[in-house]
Amino acid sequence: MPELPEVQTVIDTLKPLIIDHTIVDVFTNYPNIFEQDDESFRLKVRNQTIKEIQRKGKFIIVRLSRGFIIIHLRMEGKFYVVDSTSDWMTYKHSHVFFHLDQDLVWIYNDVRKFGTIAFVENLHDHSGLNRLGFDVFDPGLTADYLYQKSISRSIPIKTFLLDQSVIAGIGNIYANELLFNIQLSPTQPANTIKKVECERLVEELRHLMTSAIKQGGTTIRSYTSSLGVTGLFQLSLSVHGREHKPCQRCQSTIKRIKIAGRSSFYCEQCQKSKLRKGRSV
DNA sequence: TACGATGTTATTCT
DNA sequence: GAGAATAACATCGT
């Protein structure tokens, strides 16, 4: 699935295709995708016009004339926008079909069916959105904020970075990349990270995400953004997926371990865990 | 063949 | 409350 840069790429690609179009009707062959009853979802969005598409963390927010559609692509969700006269009925793993005006079909496709779609009248009605901390690019995300949040957390820094209620938008790939870039061990407890390291974390995080978005998002395995636009950033990954390969900084061998059930790639030489008694700022 | 792994999040446990 | 385990599902590689 899409990480934040892919979500942004999907939004950028989708905007010119569906904004100002009206949803004529909605069909699904897998109602569980919806967080509510599929018939009530249909009645809520029918005859509404798509006004804007934005993002918070990895949630996609589609603003309608009245209310919002909140979409999370989870692991493998993606969109297609096709002409209604094409053979869209035959697409594999397509689960939701938004029939738009001017003979367009906006399709939600999800091999693993992990994604979610909901309609809400107001953004604060959505529990997933409510849980999120500051988005990666939200000015409220500062080193100080991160430091304060880390004080009560003994979990590995990598797990802390993946906690969407702290920072919204970091996924497994970018957590691995980020820690490699600033040379922190993924296993180091969050409450041993110094404030100056929080500053570097925030700075490098934005730099990493910005350059990934510029390159159209990462593609690993099955992901393609709408209309088959494929990201190119996977060529730029420094550690993720590079187990047994030489570290690009020191040539020693990249290791892979499990942290909180997620594959974590790192260099034992460059990313040594610094054990500290307490911590100084 | 069977099992483990895959970019995520919410829920349920201890 | 914090943190770990598990579930939702399909596919691919070992």
- Total-model pTM: 0.93
Q: Which nucleotide does the CA of A175 lie closest to, via C1'?
A: B7
Give me the pLDDT at residue A35, please. Answer: 94
Give me the pLDDT at residue A2, please. Answer: 81
pLDDT in tens, A199-252: 999 999 999 999 988 887 655 433 344 444 444 455 578 999 999 999 999 999
Q: What is the largest CA-CA distance in chain A?
A: 67
Of the pLDDT bands very low, low, confident and very high (cuts 50, 70, 90), residue A279 is low
Give me chain A's average pLDDT, please.
89
In chain A, % of residues over pLDDT 70: 90
Of the pLDDT bands very low, low, confident and very high (cuts 50, 70, 90), residue A9 is confident
Q: Which nucleotide does the CA of A32 lie closest to, via C1'?
A: C8
pLDDT over 60 at A12, yes or no: yes
Residue tagged active-site, from A44, A55, A56, A58: A58
| Residue A58 is among the residues annotated as catalytic for this protein | yes
Residue tagged active-site, from A194, A256, A262, A279: A262
Region A153-165 average pLDDT: 95
| Residue A186 is among the residues annotated as catalytic for this protein | no
pLDDT over 80 at A197, yes or no: yes
Give me the pLDDT at residue A92, please. Answer: 86
In chain A, % of residues over pLDDT 90: 77
Distance A264 CA to C6 C1' (A): 20
| Residue A3 is among the residues annotated as catalytic for this protein | yes
Give me the pLDDT at residue A69, please. Answer: 97
To the nearest 10°, the Cα dihedral for A199, A205, A210, A216? 180
Distance A74 CA to B3 C1' (A): 24
Q: How many CB atoms lie within 10 A of CB A269?
A: 14
Q: State the Rg of chain A over Cα.
A: 20
Q: Is the CB of A29 under 7 A from strand C?
A: no
